Amino acid sequence: MGDNVALRARMADLDLKQAELVRLMNDEIQRLTGKLGTVSERTIHNLLAGVTRWPQSKTRAALTAVFGCTAEELGFTPPGANRPEPPEVPVRRRTFLTSGPTAAAAVAVPLLVSRATVGASDVHRLRAGLETLDALDDHQGGHAALERAALAGARQVLDVQQKGSASERVRRRLFGVAADYTAVAAWSCIDAHELDRAQQHLDHCMTLAGLAQDPTAQFRVWNSIAMLAHQRHRHGEAVAAAHAAQATGITRRDPLFASLGHARTAVGHANRGDRQAALRSIGNAAEALTKTQATLRPSWVAFYGPAELHALTAIVRDRLGDPEGAEGASHRALAEIPQQFRRNRALAMARLALAQLHQRDVDQATASASSVFDLMAGAPIPGRLRTRLGDFQRDLFTLAPNSATAREWADRFRSEWSRP
């Protein structure tokens, strides 16, 4: 007699408490026999303590169904080395994921081990695909293939949640993973300037984040809603969404999220022309960022740090009529944005070009704007970046409609605009 370490380890992996295991096993016994199971917490205590070394047939069948492995693998020992095993009750194993569509992004949600109960390790496998999608977005920006791959991931996670048995905590974590995949799809649409589809995904994502009771996922949704409102020129709504992001629990625990929330609020205030509020918010963002510490965070927020704060500061300064300050912030951003964030570097370069143009340095501004195409060579230009370049085109021909520089820019602009 002794503690059943193997069973305890399996329960820990699935994040199962004794009362939850009682419920799952009784459900499986009823499914297999048509009669209500009689497993109690005392039964589970005896299994864990080693009092029961070889459970009854229906108990073994329920354990096999819940954990997806044999009684021996759960630490139980049959009586008699040569004693034949009684026939097992057939157990239907459930396959949750098959290799799904990669949507031309060469990304698939990792395949789950086929078993009836989903645990923490399965959640980790499902979440692993998010890092690949986030890296693809960082490099290339939002596009249709990324959106499709993210939605495929969300569907597969929700299928696992729907069909598999799990503890309440694991079930919430599954909703959180589905929310993150849906948020990738929403963000891809925001970046591609597909605003109506982005709104649909964000509505669904907010529901999933609520079911997950996940403040980080909720912050992510509100942050995206603020950006979507900005693109639709609903600046009051953008400020309200940024405030909602700041009110989520993660901002009280992690200053990095608090900083991003303040920065997003600053952009909204600047777009509304509220200079004092914008400068106060961007100052709060900088102060919060100084308090951050190295810790594990979701891959989607890896873009944010001093470099991105400089880029957002450039937007705020330019909106407030300070193009010199915007140019300085843009240079600082470009000096610090890592090379793998190619789309973000291109956006920062486009903002630099606008800041230079607003100082009437037409030649330098046009050279900066042209370098955006070089940065994005070999990849489609996301809709959000196209919009910034369109802003530059409009302002350029307002300031210098007849200059040779403007005509040369227009020729390249038309050529680059026509490519996918």
pLDDT in tens, 265-304: 999 999 999 999 999 999 999 999 999 998 889 889 988 9
Length of the chain: 420
Q: What predicted TM-score, i.e. pTM, was given to this entire model?
A: 0.73
> Which residues 6+ apart lie within 8 Å of 353 measured at CB?
365, 366, 368, 369, 372, 392
CA–CA distance, 166 with 117 (Å, rounded to integer)? 5
Q: What is the pLDDT along the chain (420 residues), one digit of tens a residue?
A: 568 888 888 888 777 788 888 888 888 888 777 888 888 888 888 888 888 888 888 888 888 777 777 888 888 888 764 444 444 434 333 332 233 333 434 444 554 444 567 777 788 888 888 888 888 877 667 778 889 999 999 999 998 888 777 788 888 999 999 999 999 999 999 988 899 999 999 999 999 999 999 999 999 999 999 999 999 999 999 999 999 999 999 999 999 999 999 999 999 999 999 999 999 999 999 999 999 998 889 889 988 999 999 999 999 999 999 999 999 999 999 999 988 888 899 999 999 999 999 999 999 999 999 999 989 888 788 888 988 999 999 999 999 888 888 888 888 888 887 655
Residue 162 near residue 195, CB atoms below 8 Å: no
Q: Specify the long-range contacts of residues 214-217, CB closer than 8 Å, at least 24 apart.
A: 214/172, 214/175, 214/176, 214/179, 215/248, 215/249, 215/250, 216/176, 216/248, 216/250, 216/257, 216/298, 217/176, 217/179, 217/180, 217/183
Residue 195 near residue 147, CB atoms below 8 Å: no
Burial of 7 (0-12, 13-18, 19+ CB in 10 A): buried
Residue 307 near residue 337, CB atoms below 8 Å: yes
Output the six-digit token pair for 157: 């996670």
Residue 42 near residue 36, CB atoms below 8 Å: no
CA–CA distance, 59 with 43 (Å, rounded to integer)? 10
pLDDT digits (tens, 9 = 90+) for 146-174: 899 999 999 999 988 887 777 888 889 99
User: If you ran DSSP here, which 8-state letter would residue 300 be given?
Assistant: G
